Structure 1
Amino acid sequence: MLDETFYHAIHRCPSCGDISSHLVVDLRLKDGGSFHAPYHCTRCGTELIPVFPRELNGAPCPACRRKALTCEMTCLWD
């Protein structure tokens, strides 16, 4: 293994629109290959795609499908 990256990311189902957060594990191998652990939707089983929070602006609410989502950036203070 050459390099490894771990971080949390928001994922969205391209099929049903469900939203969840997962730990992303990206491994870069010495032979030039890479490994990325896929996640699947708990509602419909479709492979999830990582999204930036701003990409969720205007997306339909995964619960009611009627209202649009808005993204607000926050940060935690000690």
Structure 2
Amino acid sequence: MRTEPVMAAHERGGFDLSATETPAYLGRAVAALAEDEQVMRWSGQTLAVGALAREYGFTDVDGTQPEVFRVAA
């Protein structure tokens, strides 16, 4: 997530931000769910913003759809 602390750290020691997303991306996911008349189909599930972006067709502020975040095992 490209929060202020992450961006400040990036400015100090540049690292790859291509897999990160802005807080607005999450907000767009919430808005898409709020507008979905069939939102209950998601009930009881853990949802990933990247997957919802592909389902609902929204993008982050820079026009990208970052991949679904996964923790390496």
Which TM-score band applies after superposition, normalised by the shorter structure? under 0.3
Task: Decide which structure has greater helix share.
Answer: 2
> Quick one: higher RCO (CA 8 Å, sep 6+), 1 or 2?
2
Task: Decide which structure has greater strand share.
Answer: 1
